[in-house]
Amino acid sequence: MAVQPEQKKQLHFCPLTLAQVPHIAHIERDAYPEPWTFNMLRNELETEHSYFAVMYQDNLLVGYAGYWLILDEAHVTRVTIAPAFRGQGLSRPLMYHLINQAKQDNARYLRLEVRESNKTAIRLYQTLGFVIEGRRVGYYYKTKEDAIVMAKELKRPVKE
């Protein structure tokens, strides 16, 4: 019997809905020492300047990301891959989606903070054209870890 090659799993994105908030809150608790609460996530639906997307692989919720659009800057608030799906290259298409959405929203810059210890994310952001702008000492309350501030000037669309 012939073995069929594995089909590439399809990624798709949709704006966050209230029905997804409990699932996202559960992922938050598994992913972060300082997780966002249900109410914090729900507020993303009510904040006028917020864009928050959920990423599915086939029918599985595998990640999410968002930003606040402030004048011409999209300030990234979250980029998360569910712990069970990390290491599969899903962060890059999630970031492409966020970058392209920010461009559609006429942002000229994308800015974020990342934990100093998150070397994998820092490398990813650098390969996407982000540069290190500075450091926020003790930014993360529970761990007292510094945040690295990174930014990217938005010019042309990237392929998702």
Hey, which residues are catalytic here? 113, 125
| Contact (Cβ atoms closer than 8 angstroms) between residue 54 and residue 13 | yes
Q: Which residue has the tokens 């952001």?
A: 125
Which parts of the chain fold into alpha helices (H)? 21-31, 38-46, 91-104, 119-127
| Contact (Cβ atoms closer than 8 angstroms) between residue 68 and residue 16 | no
Amino acid at 81: I
